[in-house]
Amino acid sequence: MSETHIRETDIFDKPTVTVLDYGSGNIRSAVRALERAGAVVTLSAKPEDVLNADGLVVPGVGAFASVMDELKAVDALRMIGRRVAGGRAVLGICVGMQILFDAGVEHGTHREGMGEWPGTVELLPAPVVPHMGWNTVTAAEGSMLFEGVESERFYFVHSYGVQKWDFEVLQPKMRPPMVTWSEHGAPFIAAVENGPLCATQFHPEKSGDAGARMLRNWVKSLAKVAS
């Protein structure tokens, strides 16, 4: 077997991931981190790339309302919704996580989110914001994302977060989302795992070895589904 054929086979066997390109800051680090985690990565907002990839990563930097406007401008809200409805994997990062909740309130302005999860993104009641730097998390029992890094630190950069979780289980057999917490001034949600829909408030691509392991866990879950 030739070296070229081996490389082509390796690429073919890797899960595909699209990092949503809608104008949100520097996301090249996320692309590189996902490639190192074992994915074939495309940076794009084209519907064929967003809808057909094994996994979609929704990054986010800045204000809640601005990110919602930018996502809407490229029709990303509809495409994310289609993936979620179809049980296709989505990973939100930072504000890309926040917009999945009911609403965000920044500087007195209330803006509706996607409403996938209950909760409002609000200013953290801490003496110093933004919450910038490394912090531990209390990982949900049985977490797929945090397997092997439950006690590690992750890198946060944010002033707002969801501080209350009130999820109503509508059906007895329904499995509620797994919620991971951290704390800065008050407890806030650091990650949610809800079947194919996952998200982190911290930046795994900036979280060293712990973040790399977390991304490998997520990419590995895509490989299982793809196979």
* Residue in the structure block whose two tokens are 């057909």: 52
Pick 171 or 111 by higher pLDDT.
Answer: 111
Residue 87 scores a pLDDT above 80 = yes
Percent of the chain exceeding pLDDT 90 equals 83
pLDDT value, residue 2: 40
Ranking 3-7, 45-49, 136-140, 147-151 by mean pLDDT, the lowest is: 3-7
Question: Among residues 94, 116, 122, 152, which one is catalytic?
Answer: 94
CA distances from 175 to 117, 135, 171, 172, 180 (A): 14, 28, 9, 8, 16
pLDDT tens per residue across span 117-135? 999 999 999 999 999 999 9
How much is the mean pLDDT over the chain? 92
Q: What is the mean pLDDT of residues 22-27?
A: 83
The answer to whether residue 198 is catalytic is no
Residue 3 scores a pLDDT above 60 = no
Can you give the residue range of the structural domain that contains 13? 3-226
C-alpha–C-alpha distance, residues 83 and 225, integer Å = 14
Q: What is the mean pLDDT of residues 92-108?
A: 96
pLDDT-derived band of residue 108, with 50, 70 and 90 as boundaries?
confident
pLDDT value, residue 162: 98
Instruction: Specify the CATH number for the domain of residue 128.
Output: 3.40.50.880
pLDDT value, residue 171: 60
For 72, the token pair is: 């809407």
Sign, CA dihedral 43-79-16-137, equals: positive
pLDDT tens per residue across span 148-203? 999 999 999 999 999 999 887 666 666 889 999 999 999 999 999 999 999 999 99
| Cα-Cα end-to-end distance for the chain | 23
The answer to whether residue 203 is catalytic is yes
Q: What is the mean pLDDT of residues 5-22?
A: 74
pLDDT tens per residue across span 30-55? 999 999 999 999 999 999 999 999 99
Residue 227 scores a pLDDT above 90 = no
C-alpha–C-alpha distance, residues 194 and 203, integer Å = 19
pLDDT value, residue 5: 39
C-alpha–C-alpha distance, residues 35 and 24, integer Å = 19
Q: What is the mean pLDDT of residues 139-150?
A: 97
Neighbours of 153 (CB within 10 A): 17
Percent of the chain exceeding pLDDT 70 equals 90
Pick 7 or 13 by higher pLDDT.
Answer: 13
φ, ψ dihedrals at 220, nearest 5°: -60, -35
Residues 6+ apart with CB under 8 A from 8: none
pLDDT value, residue 26: 74
pLDDT value, residue 25: 72
Number of domains observed in the structure of the chain: 1
